[in-house]
């Protein structure tokens, strides 16, 4: 996921914490696997990264549908 790699680079260069919020993507697509790998590698290099995830099984489900 190019956007994740780019924002990690910005955080690392500027020595600032990064919060990734609601990173969408169904299942474990190749792009999602690359993003997870990039996040884990950055954490190992000392980049402070927090994240959350969309709690619904599908990205566009609303509370009213549950």
Query: H-type helices in the chain, by residue range?
Result: 2-14, 30-44
pLDDT reported for residue 60: 60
pLDDT digits (tens, 9 = 90+) for 22-55: 776 556 678 888 988 999 999 999 999 998 876 6
pLDDT tens sequence across 2-30: 899 999 999 999 999 999 987 765 566 78
The whole-angstrom separation of Cα 16 and Cα 47 is 8
pTM: 0.73
Neighbours of 36 (CB within 10 A): 16
């Amino acid at each position: 996921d190019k956007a994740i790699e780019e924002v990690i680079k910005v955080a690392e260069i500027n020595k600032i914490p990064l919060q990734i919020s609601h990173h969408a993507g169904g299942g474990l697509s190749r792009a999602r696997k690359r993003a997870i790998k990039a996040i884990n590698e950055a954490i190992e290099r000392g980049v402070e990264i927090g994240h959350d995830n969309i709690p619904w099984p599908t990205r566009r489900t609303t509370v009213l549908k549950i």
